[in-house]
A and B are shown apart, each in its own frame.
Chain A
């Protein structure tokens, strides 16, 4: 199976690799895993508490090229969005953007899970209810 050019681009030149301080009140952390392949993905957002806009996003993923590309792309998309807008990022948009083949769709699902988990972690720190 050949990776698309966009996957290779994100894989060889990943955006926003790194860590944010998970103890900060305005940082949300999403840690998710895919048991079928043993991939683990950590995605973090830093939110401006006044505007609700995501100012920074970082990730670290141990997984295949598609999992790395999916999370790298996700951090790019997250920056500048409001938390509300970020909640609407759909895994199929990632699939389309990266031209992921059917066997790699679960990598995009993992990225979407990571986004939602990070947002809900942030919301719970702010004393807000989780959104599904």
Chain B
């Protein structure tokens, strides 16, 4: 039994993953444990089903950035939880973005919406660069003091994703 999803694929725990390699390994295991090959043998069939399910879950967790980051943080003893709070200044900023997008979205002015979207994309880019920089710095130094910053940066990203959702909703109207 593997102790974590990285073990499952035979790779070292890391925030940064070669998704192409991961996909190949995933497909290899999928084939290897395909339940169809175990038809007729109940025990082997059950086992193949279980392996397939673990393989799917492992791939999903490690291939999606949004799932991989909190997963790795958990493995490294920095689980993300409800008690994690972000500084008021950041929340204030997010409140203002939400308000601005709501106003523009309701006003039906396509040009305004395009402007806000453009401004917001800039912000998304900044946060993305910051997070990726932290992840790379951690991977090359394994400096544990960076983990708290990574967690904060990951949580900030969640707020941005939500704002992105509402922009997309208004854009479709």
Q: Is the CB of A35 within 8 A of B95?
A: no
Check: A42 CB closer than 8 A to any chain B CB: yes
Please give the number of chain B residues whose Cβ is less than 8 angstroms from any Cβ of chain A in the complex: 21
The answer to whether A38 and B92 touch (CB under 8 A), given A33-B86, A62-B98, A106-B82, is no
- B91 interface residue (CB < 8 Å to A): yes
0 or 1 for each of A76-111: is its CB under 8 Å from B? (1 = yes): 000000000000000000000000000000100100
The complex places the Cα of A39 from the Cα of B86 at a distance, in Å, of: 12
Considering the complex, give the chain B residue whose CB is closest to the CB of A39: B162
Residues of B within 8 A of A40 (CB): 91, 94-95, 98, 159
Q: Chain B 98-141 against A: per-residue CB contact (8 Å), 1 yes, 0 no?
A: 11001000000000000000000000000000000000000000
- Asked if A5 CB lies within 8 Å of chain B CBs, one says no
B73 within 8 A of A: no
CB neighbours of B82 from chain A (8 A): 34, 36, 106, 109
Shortest CB-to-CB span from B155 to chain A, Å, is 4
Nearest chain B CB to A91 CB, angstrom units:
12
Tell me if B84 is interfacial: C-beta within 8 Å of chain A. yes
Which residues of chain B have C-beta atoms less than 8 A from A60's C-beta? 95, 99
Chain B residues within 8 Å of A31, by CB? 88, 91-92, 95
A1 in the interface (beta carbon within 8 A): no
A to B CB contacts below 8 Å, 28 in the list: A31-B88, A32-B91, A33-B85, A33-B86, A33-B94, A33-B159, A34-B82, A35-B80, A35-B155, A35-B159, A36-B82, A36-B158, A37-B158, A37-B162, A38-B94, A38-B159, A39-B162, A40-B91, A40-B95, A42-B95, A60-B95, A60-B99, A62-B95, A62-B98, A62-B162, A62-B166, A106-B82, A109-B82
The 10 tightest CB contacts between A and B, nearest first, are A38-B162, A35-B155, A62-B98, A38-B159, A33-B91, A38-B158, A31-B91, A40-B95, A40-B94, A35-B158
| 6 more CB-based (< 8 A) A-B contacts, given A31-B95, A38-B94, A38-B161 | A31-B92, A33-B85, A33-B91, A37-B158, A60-B95, A109-B82
